[in-house]
Chain A
Amino acid sequence: MQTHTTPLYRRRKLLNRLVMAACIGATLIGFVFLFAILLTLVTKGLSAISPSIFIERTRMNGGGLGNAIWGTFLMTSLATILGTVIGVAAGTWLAEYGNKGVLPKVIRFINDILLSAPSIIIGLFIYAVVVVPMGSFSAWAGVLSLTVIIVPVVIRSTEDMLRLIPNSLREAAAALGAHRWWIIVRVCYSGARAGILTGILLGFARISGETAPLLFTSLNSNQWNFFNLDNEMANLPMTIYQNMTINAFIPDLVSLAWGGALILTAAILILNIAARYFSRQRT
């Protein structure tokens, strides 16, 4: 009796083929869409990119994106520094001291919620607690809203990475007479450094593309603003947004928006790849 010719066997084989073909089809559809986006981005963006785009400020006609690129870089960097301090501290507490009681569980849960909370809500929150009392939009408000977004990312990766450090290392250090803070700073951090850095880089990449939280905080401007954080500050995502909506009737500005989008995406992809490289160094 040959089993591979029975109707049941043939039906199972056929079904398997169909489903696997569907899976390959799904993969193709998914990648076609994503490649179409990247292709549009590159073709429309490349034609707008020239050296002057990095140097000139935004204007109603012509101009570049220099001030916006600087603003995004400065605000994201400041937010990353603030977020690193807060996030590493809180993540360390969760990993090293947060093993008993209900409080660490609650904080971990809240952090996971904040990790995926809509960024526009964060923008509204900072608007209500910073912009309204201060009376004006400011780069500080933008920095704070980006900080609120990056902190959960850093907390999560710090905790995950510290938990990978084997307990025997901590015990060995304790047996040599080291105090707990010394163990954390000298033993745990040196082991988890690459992983924490990866998390920070990924967070940096994520907040550099955020538009929604900046809508009501740093707003945008078409002037150079190097270090005056009490004023509105230009930034790349908001410039792209405004050029595609309220300024969409000016072809130059739309083209500039695509150039900015390409620069932004390229920077984020490079940061992601760098983060991946860092995490590979670790293992």
Chain B
Amino acid sequence: MATPQAIQTGGGLGGLSEATRRRLQRKARIDVWFERTLFAFAFAVLLLLGAIIASLIASSWPALERYGLEFFTENRWAANVEVFGALPAIYGTLLTSLIAIVIAVPISFGIAIFLTERCPNVLRQPLSTLIELLAGIPSIIYGMWGMEVLAPLLRTWFPSVFPAGTGLATAGIILAVMIIPFITAVSRDVINTVPAVMRESAYGLGCTTWEVARRVILPSVKGGLVGGVVLGLGRALGETMAVTFVIGNNLFLNTTLTGQGTSIAALIANQFSESDGTQRSALLALGLILFLITFAVLAFARYLLRNSTGRHA
């Protein structure tokens, strides 16, 4: 590729007319500025992350300074007496995401294995496309459906388990439904990277479909599959709208599975616009905690997915 420096110094251009040389030098200068401009935009991405972290720390500092470690150990969030404990929200965030992963992973892997190994060819493309389209539905739709359809159903079918219909487990189920298309799409992409010859060799040795999947395909793309799941986990952890409608918004720590609770994102969404002073700062501190949790989870996912490039991620 042409190096702008060589042209700028005029090396090898001795035989050219003055006008041509000037024209070339101008183009070379554009080359330099073109790269600098592009670089500035790319560097802005780096600054953006720095700015997000810095602004969250700065605006949550008053609350963190005032409450210190108590912020993480206090088990209620009571704005009227200015007691702010992050524990109920952190617990709700982690529990709902865990429930979502436990439900979504077997179903997603089942769909992915069916789509890649057993699906009739006529159905394969339409079903794959459908899954990808469903992954694009906005999360607020899942929340609305959870509130209007799922919660009343759970209350009528299992009144002893879900007395109110809403709650942490309900939120977990909704999150699971939301991340199933996502995990399925990533898993399918990852499984498709396995060379056909590996599959054929295993079938040639007399393996059953399940043995091919279990002994050949899954081991060879383990990292990518786990990466996709962790990426789905990252999505569930930070999800706001699918959760807010159905989690129950109970601001006291409730360590049951199906009881009502809250999550970091839901608490912020519910209280932020009516808050000020310490409460607002405490909500921003919750945001900082959420960002740090998801950052760690997403970084881990990227590390696992470094060899397989999924376009959905």
Contact = CB atoms under 8 A, between A and B. Distances in A.
B28 interface: yes
A107 B50 CA distance: 12
Contact of B110 (A25, A178, A276): A25
A63 B67 CA distance: 46
A118 interface: yes
Contacts of B42: 89-90, 93-94, 98, 104, 107
A211 B241 contact: yes
Contacts of B287: 120-121, 124
A124 B56 contact: yes
Majority-rule SS of B interface residues: helix
Given A26-B114, A113-B298, A125 B55 contact: yes
| Residue among B110, B148, B309 with the highest chain A CB neighbour number at 10 A | B110
B291 A116 contact: no
B200 interface: no
Closest 5 CB pairs of A and B: A118-B238, A26-B110, A209-B138, A181-B34, A16-B208
Interface string A1-34: 0000000000011011001101111110111011
Contact of A27 (B37, B43, B110, B133): B110
B226 to A, nearest CB: 15
B118 A20 contact: yes
12 contacts: A15-B210, A86-B44, A107-B45, A112-B313, A116-B234, A118-B291, A121-B238, A124-B268, A151-B45, A179-B4, A205-B136, A208-B138
B255 interface: no
B1 A265 contact: no
A179 B28 contact: yes
A181 B137 contact: no
Given A89-B41, A117-B295, 20 more contacts: A13-B208, A19-B213, A23-B114, A24-B118, A26-B106, A30-B110, A30-B180, A37-B137, A37-B142, A110-B45, A110-B46, A112-B302, A121-B52, A179-B27, A180-B1, A209-B137, A209-B140, A244-B143, A244-B144, A268-B136
Contacts of A92: 38
A119 B57 CA distance: 17
Nearest to B286: A124
Interface string A231-253: 00000010011001100000000
A182 interface: yes
Given A27-B111, A110-B45, A118-B265, A174 B2 contact: yes
A126 B105 CA distance: 34
B12 to A, nearest CB: 13
Interface stretch (A51-59, A212-220, A222-230): A212-220
B178 to A, nearest CB: 10
Nearest to B149: A40
Nearest to A155: B45
Given A29-B107, A117-B291, A180-B2, A16 B145 contact: no
Contacts of A86: 41, 44
Contact of A216 (B114, B273, B301): B273
Contacts of A15: 208, 210
B213 to A, nearest CB: 8
A93 B291 contact: no
B199 interface: no
Interface in B223-244: 231, 234-235, 237-241, 244
A49 interface: no
Contacts of B265: 118, 120, 212
A80 B12 CA distance: 45
A93 B35 contact: yes
A69 interface: no
B63 interface: no
B254 to A, nearest CB: 21
Candidate in A110, A125, A210, A269 with the most chain B CB atoms within 10 angstroms: A125
Interface string B184-225: 100000000000000000000000111101000000000000
Interface in A241-283: 241, 244-245, 257-258, 261, 264-265, 268-269, 272-273, 276
A90 B59 CA distance: 29
Interface in A159-178: 160, 170-171, 174, 177-178
Interface string B86-115: 000000000000000000001111110111
A60 interface: no
B272 to A, nearest CB: 6
**Residue of B147, B210, B295 ringed by the most chain A CB atoms within 10 A:** B210
Interface in B64-81: none
Given A12-B208, A117-B294, A244-B147, A272 B133 contact: yes
A211 B28 CA distance: 46
A97 B272 CA distance: 42
Given A30-B180, A113-B295, A237 B149 contact: no
